[in-house]
């Protein structure tokens, strides 16, 4: 594996996201990823991508993130957190990422060739970062016992329902009693 890829994979998405939450949320339950982007001089714009199922793009040269204008607010919030994941985890090793729906659904790396595997792992890390930023373990655990449906949890956290389901599954695998 190329050294640059190894470097990318040494990053700790949960740890970095946790530190950012401590810096930006203080007493607020709901973190606004726009504030993090603004603080780091990243411009966030909505764009009509026309072709393909693109959710978000981040470009290092212009310090810009583009989000799919057709997506729901909650999806845009998650897409923004995902692109920030690339910013904090995968720059300066790469100059740009174009992220499609398929990358947001990466769960494993079986049956992929080496190039696809590297890209899939990078996307997994960006997703893990986004979930850690918007759905921290302790808050999800608390809400799970307060909210009556997963849809209410999704509203509360401001993310798509499938992202909450994914996080809950991940936490169960880690031994949380949910
Ligand atoms: Zn991505």
Q: Which residues pair with 67 in a beta bridge?
A: 46, 56
Residue 98, SS3? strand
Q: Which residue has the higher pLDDT, 8 or 63?
A: 63
Residue 88, SS3? helix
What local confidence, expressed as pLDDT, does residue 27 receive? 56
What local confidence, expressed as pLDDT, does residue 122 receive? 86
Q: Which residue has the higher pLDDT, 9 or 155?
A: 155
Split at pLDDT 50, 70, 90, the class of 64 is very high
* Residue 4 Cα to ligand 1 middle (Å): 17
- Distance of alpha carbon 57 from the chain centroid: 13
* Residue 147 Cα to ligand 1 middle (Å): 30
Mean pLDDT of 162-177: 93
Split at pLDDT 50, 70, 90, the class of 62 is confident
Tokens of 35: 């504030």
Rounded to an integer, what distance in angstroms lies between the CA atom of residue 132 and that of residue 81?
9
Mean pLDDT of 147-174: 93
Q: Phi and psi at residue 62, in whole multiples of 5°? A: -95, 5
Q: Which residue has the tokens 């190894």?
A: 6
Residue 80 has pLDDT above 90, yes or no: yes
139-178: burial string, b at 16+ Cβ within 10 Å, e else: bbeebbeebeeeeebbeebbbbeebbebbbeebeeeeeee
Residue 82 has pLDDT above 90, yes or no: yes
Residue 171 has pLDDT above 90, yes or no: yes
Quote the strand ranges of 48-131, DSSP E.
54-59, 64-68, 96-100
* Residue 146 Cα to ligand 1 middle (Å): 32
What local confidence, expressed as pLDDT, does residue 47 receive? 94
What local confidence, expressed as pLDDT, does residue 129 receive? 93
* Residue 87 Cα to ligand 1 middle (Å): 10
What local confidence, expressed as pLDDT, does residue 10 receive? 66
159-164-170-171 Cα dihedral, nearest 10 degrees? 110
86 neighbors 64 (Cβ within 8 angstroms): no
What local confidence, expressed as pLDDT, does residue 148 receive? 83
* Residue 83 Cα to ligand 1 middle (Å): 6
Split at pLDDT 50, 70, 90, the class of 3 is low
Is the domain spanning 3-134 CATH 1.10.10? The answer is yes
Q: Which residue has the tokens 């764009």?
A: 47
Residues in the chain: 178
Minimum mean pLDDT range among 101-110, 127-136, 149-158, 167-176? 101-110
77 neighbors 158 (Cβ within 8 angstroms): yes
């Amino acid at each position: 594996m190329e050294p640059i890829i190894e470097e990318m994979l040494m990053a700790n998405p949960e740890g970095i996201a946790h530190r950012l939450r401590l810096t930006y949320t203080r007493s607020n339950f709901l973190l606004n990823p726009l504030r993090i982007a603004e603080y780091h001089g990243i411009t966030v714009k909505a764009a009509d991508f026309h072709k393909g199922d693109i959710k978000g793009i981040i470009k290092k040269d212009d310090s810009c993130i583009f989000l799919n204008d057709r997506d729901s607010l909650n999806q845009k919030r998650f897409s923004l957190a995902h692109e920030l994941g690339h910013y904090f985890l995968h720059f300066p090793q790469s100059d740009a990422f174009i992220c499609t729906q398929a990358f947001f659904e990466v769960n494993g790396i079986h049956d992929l060739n080496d190039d696809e595997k590297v890209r899939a792992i990078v996307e997994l890390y960006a997703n893990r970062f986004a979930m850690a930023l918007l759905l921290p373990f302790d808050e999800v655990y608390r809400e799970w016992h307060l909210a009556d449906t997963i849809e209410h949890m999704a509203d509360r956290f401001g993310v798509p329902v499938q992202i909450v389901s994914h996080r809950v599954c991940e936490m169960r695998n880690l031994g949380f009693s949910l």
